[in-house]
Structure 1
């Protein structure tokens, strides 16, 4: 019932009506199984979508009619269930695509509860799904609408399908899981391949998903490789084989490995470094912050134990998902410390990295990409539950001599602060042995796909 009510006047439609004043699409109407988009006068070619009504089956080689033009329709599906990593990576891709294709129509589908806190690239719009939370490795529950847990999945499925079919993408990039969260994309993927002109479909995955044995089991349970074989043209790994052999670790079948490409890590913008010969500065950030309390508390407790002769300036960024009671407790206990500044959230940390001499952080994909790009010394305290992705990444980075590592079992104020002090005495590496050209490589793959040469 709830899934039916939302389509009387979807929030997504109202959001698009407000934001598409400068974009190449404005929503026209909700028709049958699609959101219909109408051309906006004076702008580049856009689609006028028709509802699906039993379209004939087509071959995989038939691609959408905008492919190969300078104004493709690109849709990005962001897998948002925990933290900020997926939506931040998706927004980076959106900005890169906007720079490459100024006339493109780009639409995001996201369930991120903090999408409104980020600055979207120019002329990029989004459709907001009801939020879900990852409660286990492959288990999800509504984040806010807990009284409607049975309705959330069909509601999200319907909104996704109507949006995709109405938008008529030339290219669709799906984040992390080929079937989406809880396989909510499967109905939409099946509808797309039965369109007269199907889009190119790409699955983008980060370097490390989880511990290999558990990941292989999850991939089998979700029929991930079957979905990739049926629906996807390519798989992009946002990492480097030299750092982590994704295909081997997760036992990719030969037919899937043949369509998979290592793109490299995604380089981030950097700001001018701070002046030398000043009081050392440490940045403490735990991403979204939902499970960052222990890291921040250990650092601040260690800071309190330093001799008065040791000068260190610190900025702590809690993260938007840190529980209010935990944030308040930290401020009550440590808010008086001299030379420590606190911020709840900052969507762009580029300038903060530039000011810092050492960064204390977790080991999420985006954070590590930012640290590699900035060339900063860092102490990584990785998350170890519900998946071991960060732990594996942090251990590998430590093995390569890129960053220092403090595991959760070692997380005490003394040990963390000693590690930070040692990092402050080190010299940052002049050149890192890691491929950071993921974005240029992605654009090369994208051009080939849209031109129909692969």
Structure 2
């Protein structure tokens, strides 16, 4: 399977279905971007007539969505350094905000009557906000329910503790028809360490990674460049600092760089970076949040990035050489992904555990980047069937009883 191909449900006597994608999005862009890619594939293939994304992302309105895809913005929350949450709505505590989000979710699903609900990452939703809706849907609704997991969640022991605290294992066992893992078992199994039953594991589908394509055309530099992107940017300051230090230390460093900050790297930190960028005299150019980043990925000589799921999908999709500088707090997800990808020969990984986060190491990595192997040279072509598999599974679930659907 390669790129998604149109499916014609009407040719076998069934109408396209309606899909809701739940994306809790307390921080960052990952869940929203993954949900948007899935919704686009389902509607453009003809499997779904329309799709609605339920998202808490504060920047959802800055993305373009296909004609058949809409979104409902849930009241936002913010995660504090100690792991607790506060509401972004003035005058509302976190309990009231969670209750409001839960009511909006339930009302949307009740009115829209989806054939399929795809829940991203959190089986019970943010602070359990999905549980009442999921239980109601299980009491005779036509809606099929899928839990979608990225390829890596966290260290097995940490994840097991977190899921036990949230009641996530019980919810997965009793409330979901299937589990989709948007990755490959040969890369990593995100459920290792979880006490899931053989029944749930038999209903787990490994889709492969989600291929990305250029949706919106955009201008890119006509001279060779590397792309530097911290994704959403909220925790990318250390990586950006390291790259700028490399260009400051070596006046002959090439290729030049295009730095995309991300929507959450802002304020005084970004202002200080901008001062340093200007002093480099055009060797590094910068821009803020760019929802049309795909053309920059496609045209670059290579990419320096963090190890988020969506960025990794883009590296594979555009067959890009990459140096990954993964975060290691508050969870090891990015480091695990980058480490496994390096073992498979797909990327170069620079991380603090190997004491490589030095300016000299970054200078050497940038110089070597245009000569690195591309992912395809390490056999990455077979990793990107995710959207095709999702289309096929979604169509099967919406048209057949579960006994016929599980593979």
- TM-score, normalised via structure 2 length: 0.88
Distance 2:22 2:259 in 1: 31
After the TM superposition, which residues 3-14 of structure 1 pair with which residues of structure 2 at under 5 Å, given as runs? none
Structure whose alpha-carbon radius of gyration is higher: 1
| Structure 2: unaligned runs, 5 residues or longer | 1-11
Distance 2:20 2:180 in 1: 16
| From 376, 398, 402, the counterpart of 1:450 | 398
Distance 2:386 2:357 in 1: 33
| From 395, 403, 414, the counterpart of 2:347 | 403
Distance 1:285 1:154 in 2: 35
| From 45, 61, 65, the counterpart of 1:116 | 61
- Corresponding residue number in structure 2 for 1:104: 49
Secondary structure, counterpart of 2:148 in structure 1: strand
- Corresponding residue number in structure 2 for 1:374: 318
- Corresponding residue number in structure 1 for 2:333: 389
User: Quick check: 1:394–1:405 contact (8 Å CA) kept in 2?
Assistant: yes
Secondary structure, counterpart of 1:246 in structure 2: coil
User: Quick check: 2:156–2:192 contact (8 Å CA) kept in 1?
Assistant: no
- Corresponding residue number in structure 2 for 1:425: 371
- Displacement of 1:419 after TM fit? 1.6
Pair 1:185 & 2:133 matched: no
User: Quick check: 2:179–2:204 contact (8 Å CA) kept in 1?
Assistant: yes
Distance 1:242 1:103 in 2: 30
Secondary structure, counterpart of 2:192 in structure 1: helix
- Corresponding residue number in structure 2 for 1:131: 76
Moved more, 293-302 or 85-94: 293-302
Distance 2:376 2:202 in 1: 35
- Corresponding residue number in structure 1 for 2:273: 330
Secondary structure, counterpart of 1:315 in structure 2: strand
Secondary structure, counterpart of 1:107 in structure 2: strand
Q: 1:105 to 1:280 in 2, by over 3 A?
A: closer
Distance 1:107 1:279 in 2: 40
Pair 1:198 & 2:146 matched: no
The alignment's C-alpha RMSD in Å is 2.4
- Corresponding residue number in structure 2 for 1:441: 389
Q: 1:68 to 1:87 in 2, by over 3 A?
A: farther
- Corresponding residue number in structure 2 for 1:358: 302
| Structure 1: unaligned runs, 5 residues or longer | 1-66
User: Quick check: 2:19–2:48 contact (8 Å CA) kept in 1?
Assistant: no
- Displacement of 1:321 after TM fit? 0.5
Q: Residues 71-102 of structure 1: CA distance to partner in whole angstroms, max 9, x if unpaired?
A: 31211111211210100000001100111227
- Corresponding residue number in structure 2 for 1:92: 37
Q: Residues 375-429 of structure 1: CA distance to partner in whole angstroms, max 9, x if unpaired?
A: 1111101111111100100111111111111114532222122122122233424
Q: 1:136 to 1:178 in 2, by over 3 A?
A: farther
Secondary structure, counterpart of 1:248 in structure 2: coil
Distance 2:49 2:30 in 1: 24
After the TM superposition, which residues 247-396 of structure 1 pair with which residues of structure 2 at under 5 Å, given as runs? 247-269=191-213, 280-308=224-252, 310-337=253-280, 338-396=282-340
- Displacement of 1:123 after TM fit? 2.4
- TM-score, normalised via structure 1 length: 0.79
Distance 1:320 1:68 in 2: 45
